[in-house]
Amino acid sequence: MLAEAPLKQDSGSLDSLVRSGSSSLDPMNLLTDSPQPAASGAPKHHAAIAWLRAQIQSIRGESPWEFVVLVAMTGFLLFYGLVPIFGGDQVGLVGADEPRYAQIAREMLNAHSEVCHEYNAKIFPSRPTPKAIENSFRCLDGGTVTPILYGHPWLEKPALYYWRAMGFFKEFGVADWTARLPSASGAGLLILMIFLHMRRFRPGGQLDAALITASCVAIIGFARGASTDMQLAAPFCIGMLGWYAWYETGLKFWLFDLYFFGAAATLAKGPVAPFLALSIILLFLGLRREWSALRRTIWLPGVLLYLVMVLPWYIAVQRENPTFIHSFIVEHNLERFATNLYEHRQPFWYYFAVLLVGLMPWTVIALRALVAAMTDSIAEWKVRVNPKRYLGHSRAGDAFPEFLVLWALFPIVFFTFSKSKLPGYILPSIAPLTILTGDYLNRIRRAGLPKWLLWSHGAACALVAFVITLAPQHMMYDTLVPSVGWLVCASAAALLVLFAVVKTIQIGGIGHVRNATLFPVLAAMVFLLGFHGRDLDLNYSARPLAREMQQQAPDVRTVAFEDVRRDMVYGLSFYRNEQPIDYCEPSIKPRLNEESCSAGVDIPSETHLLVIPANEAGKLESWLPGRVYEPLFLYESQGLEVYKVLPAQ
């Protein structure tokens, strides 16, 4: 008797359908679902209308309420406290990257608008004449090729984020919240695609997988960032799901997702996108010994689509900036990986810690789902390697868990060896883990959560509540040791969440794990953004400082800095739309391709504002010999002081 070889299903494995409790395998349903002759007099619908109804039904799910819940919860998780009409834009741009990328998009939009006005044209020609087409092309090309910051080329990243931010700026105006819409909308599309993919190929766990993705810390955080991380992760993950859909069905249509969204990811962060995709696919097919699938993955229309989308910008930016290849490919890809050039060195275990935090509050169940998938994948691999050893052992041959495991682990392992480590590097690993988690909950729906896993998950939710409750204390007093009162409040909140989550799941069953977990997440967002958003803004963003400077000195535009953090420098520059002037700080000037501080810096002769740390006021005499200056105000929340420096005599 021969061992039964793993079988690849055409549209989701038989095993997954049985485990999901799908009614499609019920003999009575098979009978009643078969086409029946139309009753006499029944209305006959046009084929196009029937197709449209089928597409709408496929999007909204088996129940329209399922789609309503998906849209409502995802909308809240991604946009509450972000857009003015939904909780207000509570927190200004933070860190150095957000305001810098937003400023680049603003300057590119200004350059683009100037070119379009010069030729009196729009991107789409108003008339089909050669002159109108030429002017429209110049309008399209103007300001959209070379990213610029303070008038200088900025070649660290490709242009996808800037293009998308330019579009939102043009539609809704230049603002911090519009600068974050590219990431929020990209995350929303990813969540929707996870829902649709799971419903098509692994029915039963689609809503869990989608909302687990939407509610984990990593997705909530990076979806609200004006950065390139979500611009890479969202299309990359959609493309990987598309490739696996092709692997299961053999339909070339699904390869469109791989090539289209892979090209978008390449325009977001460069060659790392195709490298990760190819490596994961090679590992997966190599372990399954299906090398012919690799050859069939190379689909000529898809390759052409990828090249048409990617090459025009890369060629154009290289022609305009001959140093682009060295600056972007060598410095910001190869050297960033191989050296600590940009001072982002972290310990070897760094990404394990990032993963634990990024998956919260689903960390415990996600890790359990990962271990279960790895166990099944290793067992299947052993069957494939030595089938005689497993005579009589029958497996369903579901390759999806194995694919998700490799997809999740490869970026983490690869970037662990990087000398430069940032949290966003492993963002592409979050989606496969949340999908595994949703599928795992669906597969154990009848058995329920083991007691240890239930209480561990409740403890993870309680930990989130504890930390979020203490966050305002840390923001206001900048201390890691909270007061007794705050500790009591945080402990009470944690205990309440712990028993609420555990009791809800015990009463309602595993189907209520999602609801029990989402409630503390939503409550934490309202608490942090709704009640303490102003504290976040005051302590981490330059926006309140920029507003105060505008009120105190509305007629002064020039702002100078000395020994101020880079995030505040870039933040004030964005909110005031002015190039920063640093008295003598070399950390910024070389990045702007300017002379270093050692060559000397001229202090502006005109009236200007000077921002310095509050404890360095005694150095003003040495910085400003012979100049008259006066204090404007103390910005206590970030330890800064602002002076007005009068013109030189």
- 386-414: per-residue pLDDT in tens? 766 555 444 446 789 999 999 999 999 99
208 touches 199 (CB < 8 A): no
How many other CB atoms sit within 10 Å of the CB of residue 83?
18
Phi (first) and psi of residue 508, to 5 degrees: -90, -15
Instruction: Indicate the range of 148-162, 238-252, 301-315, 612-626 predicted with least confidence.
Output: 612-626
Q: What is the pLDDT of residue 593?
A: 37
Q: What is the pLDDT of residue 648?
A: 76
Instruction: Indicate the range of 17-26, 204-213, 565-574 predicted with least confidence.
Output: 17-26
Pairing of strands 148-149, 152-153: antiparallel
Q: Is 3 exposed, middle or buried (0-12, 13-18, 19+ CB in 10 A)?
A: middle
Q: What is the pLDDT of residue 35?
A: 37
Nearest residue to 509 via CA among 433, 441, 439: 441
646 touches 628 (CB < 8 A): yes
Q: What is the pLDDT of residue 627?
A: 86
User: pLDDT > 70: what percent of the chain?
Assistant: 85
Question: For residues 649 and 627, what is the distance between their CA atoms, to the nearest angstrom?
Answer: 8
Instruction: Indicate the range of 163-177, 400-414, 462-476 predicted with least confidence.
Output: 462-476
Q: Which helix (H) or strand (E) holds 635?
A: strand 629-635
Nearest residue to 381 via CA among 276, 409, 86, 389: 389
Q: What is the pLDDT of residue 388?
A: 62
The residue extents of the domains of the chain are 97-337+349-443, 451-539, 542-645
Which are the contacts of 265, defined by CB distance < 8 A and separation ≥ 6?
Answer: 231, 232, 235, 236, 239, 273
Please give the average per-residue pLDDT across 565-572, as a whole number.
92
Question: For residues 114 and 172, what is the distance between their CA atoms, to the nearest angstrom?
Answer: 19
Q: Is the pLDDT of residue 14 over 60?
A: no
Beta bridge partners of 94: 541
State pLDDT tens for residues 477-495. Answer: 666 677 788 889 999 999 9
The DSSP line for 566-632 is HHHHHHHHHHHT---EESS-TTTGGGGT---GGG--PPPSS-EEEEEEGGGGGGHHHHSTT--EEEE
Q: Is the pLDDT of residue 559 over 80?
A: yes
Q: What is the pLDDT of residue 54?
A: 59
Assigned token pair, 432 = 């496969």
Name the amino acid, one letter, at 18.
Answer: V
Q: What is the pLDDT of residue 480?
A: 67
Q: Is the pLDDT of residue 12 over 70?
A: no
Kindly report the pTM of this predicted structure.
0.85
Q: Is the pLDDT of residue 206 over 90?
A: yes
Q: What is the pLDDT of residue 588?
A: 38
Phi (first) and psi of residue 158, to 5 degrees: -65, -175
- The DSSP secondary-structure symbol of 137 reads H
**Residue 275's pLDDT band (cuts 50, 70, 90):** very high
Instruction: Indicate the range of 77-81, 306-310, 644-648 predicted with least confidence.
Output: 644-648
Q: What is the pLDDT of residue 396?
A: 46
Q: Is the pLDDT of residue 47 over 70?
A: no
Instruction: Indicate the range of 41-55, 212-226, 393-407, 588-602 predicted with least confidence.
Output: 588-602
313: three-class secondary structure by DSSP: helix
Question: What is the Cβ-side half-sphere exposure of residue 123, based on CA atoms within 13 angstroms?
Answer: 7
Q: What is the pLDDT of residue 600?
A: 45
Which are the contacts of 628, defined by CB distance < 8 A and separation ≥ 6?
Answer: 645, 646
Q: Is the pLDDT of residue 254 over 50?
A: yes
Q: What is the pLDDT of residue 50?
A: 61
Q: Is 516 exposed, middle or buried (0-12, 13-18, 19+ CB in 10 A)?
A: buried
Q: What is the pLDDT of residue 372?
A: 94
Q: Is the pLDDT of residue 626 over 90?
A: no
Q: Is the bond preceding 361 in cis, omega lying within 30 degrees of 0?
A: yes
Please give the average per-residue pLDDT across 443-447, as a whole number.
89
Q: Which helix (H) or strand (E) holds 276?
A: helix 272-288
Please give the average per-residue pLDDT across 21-32, as a whole number.
35
Q: What is the pLDDT of residue 57?
A: 57
Rg (C-alpha) for the chain, rounded Å, is 28
Please give the average per-residue pLDDT across 84-95, as a whole number.
87
Q: Is 282 exposed, middle or buried (0-12, 13-18, 19+ CB in 10 A)?
A: middle
**Residue 616's pLDDT band (cuts 50, 70, 90):** confident
Q: What is the pLDDT of residue 584?
A: 66
Assigned token pair, 297 = 């993955």
Mean pLDDT, the chain, whole residue set: 85
Q: Is the bond preceding 64 in cis, omega lying within 30 degrees of 0?
A: no
Instruction: Indicate the range of 302-316, 330-344, 563-577 predicted with least confidence.
Output: 330-344
**Residue 33's pLDDT band (cuts 50, 70, 90):** very low
Q: Which residue has the tokens 């579009």?
A: 167
Please give the average per-residue pLDDT across 145-161, as a whole number.
93
Q: What is the pLDDT of residue 63?
A: 66
